[in-house]
């Protein structure tokens, strides 16, 4: 079994460690919560373990449906072995229903269904506040190649179909979510980072109750319970 060697990075929600295998890392999920580019800080008890387990569950499911991911093995509730990648510096946002920044930008009330799935790209850069970019910016800045971007878009739309269908069975509406992709040392584009209540908007299909990080962002209360409810509905526990 691989073990943690040196801490390579500590981000807002995770730590990343090297291992005995140069092509594998271990990620360790924290309970620290931040929002609004780090301006709001807090702790969500049990969040790290829930996000780790939900993300691994969804990545394993995506793998069976042909999406390559960084997931290798869950070591314990908080820690997972992943493939080493260099992250493509983009946040890919997939939207089915208007919410959050899209509602503000376009003046669409939250909850309005989009006529077509919307893909957005943001440049991953905290100092700049993750500005939205389009395909021209991405290619001009050489964040990735045209072929890689086309593949990222294709994977993102397929992931949306797979997740939306699965979540519907759990009585959850997938409003929008954020994905990150990475490149392996042999040049393969794979899904990286996490898919969890941290990076998705999940609404109860019947009541529209928010079961995600918006409870923390908007001080709605019941944050821990919402994360636990997602774990229960998805993994059945
Ligand atoms: N999102 C994320 N990380 C970010 C920004 C957004 O995981 O740094 C997710 C967010 O949880 C939501 C979706 O991407 O599911 C769309 O977020 P939006 O652009 O509406 O921004 P927000 O309103 O969250 O600031």
In the prediction, which pLDDT does 77 show? 97
Average pLDDT of 209-225?
97
**Closest CA to ligand 1's atom 10:** 199
pLDDT at 23: 98
> Which residue out of 199, 215, 217 has the highest number of ligand 1 atoms within 8 Å of its CB and is therefore the one to mutate?
199
Q: What is the pLDDT of residues 2-58, one digit of tens each?
A: 999 999 999 999 999 999 999 999 999 999 999 998 999 999 999 999 999 999 999
Q: Which of 35, 101, 108, 125 to mutate to test the pocket of ligand 1 (most atoms within 8 A of CB)?
A: 101
Atom 7 of ligand 1, residue of closest alpha carbon: 199
Q: Is 120 in the pocket of ligand 1 (CB under 6 A)?
A: no
In this prediction, residue 237 carries a pLDDT of 78
Domains of the chain with bracketed CATH: 7-83 (3.30.200.20), 86-222 (3.30.470.20)
Q: Give kind and range of the element (H or E) at residue 49.
A: helix 47-64
Cα 66 from Cα 212, distance rounded (Å): 27
Strand partners, 71: 82
Q: Rounded to the nearest whole angstrom, what is the distance from the C-alpha of residue 179 to the centroid of ligand 1?
A: 10
Distance CA 232, CA 209 (A): 16
The answer to whether the CB of 130 is under 6 A from ligand 1 is yes
DSSP 13: S
Res 142: pLDDT: 98
Cβ-contact 38, 219 below 8 angstroms: no
The Å distance, Cα 6 to ligand 1 centre, comes to 30
Cβ of 215 below 6 Å from ligand 1 = no
pLDDT computed for residue 135 by the predictor? 98
78 vs 38, residue with greater confidence: 78
Per-residue pLDDT averaged across 105-126, rounded? 98
**205 within 8 A of 172, measured Cβ to Cβ:** yes
Average pLDDT over residues 66-85: 98
Query: What token pair was written down for 175?
Result: 């409003």
Query: Counting atoms of ligand 1 from 1, which one is nearest the CA of 201?
Result: 15
221 pLDDT band, cuts 50/70/90, is very high
- The rounded percent of the chain whose pLDDT value lies above 90 is 98
Closest to 96 measured CA to CA, from 1, 39, 160, 147: 160
pTM value is 0.97
């Amino acid at each position: 079994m691989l073990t943690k060697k040196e801490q390579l990075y500590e981000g807002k929600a995770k730590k990343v460690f090297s291992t005995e295998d140069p092509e594998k890392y271990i990620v360790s999920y924290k309970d620290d919560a931040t929002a609004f580019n780090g301006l709001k800080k807090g702790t969500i008890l049990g969040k790290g373990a829930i996000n780790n387990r939900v993300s691994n569950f969804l990545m394993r499911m995506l793998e069976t449906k042909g999406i390559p991911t960084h997931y290798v093995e869950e070591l314990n509730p908080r820690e997972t072995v992943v493939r080493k990648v260099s992250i493509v510096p983009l946040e890919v946002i997939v939207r089915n229903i208007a919410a959050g920044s899209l509602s503000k930008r376009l003046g669409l009330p939250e909850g309005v269904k989009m006529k077509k799935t919307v893909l957005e790209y943001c440049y991953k850069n905290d100092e700049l506040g993750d500005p939205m970019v389009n395909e021209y910016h991405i290619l001009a800045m050489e964040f990735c190649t045209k072929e890689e971007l086309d593949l990222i878009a294709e994977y993102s739309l397929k992931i949306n179909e797979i997740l939306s269908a699965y979540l519907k069975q759990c009585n959850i509406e997938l409003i929008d979510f954020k994905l990150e992709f990475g490149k392996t040392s042999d040049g393969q584009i794979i899904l990286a980072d996490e898919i969890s209540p941290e990076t998705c908007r999940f609404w109860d299909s019947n009541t529209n109750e928010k079961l995600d990080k918006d409870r923390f962002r908007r001080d709605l209360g019941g944050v821990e319970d919402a994360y636990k409810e997602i774990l229960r509905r998805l993994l059945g526990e």
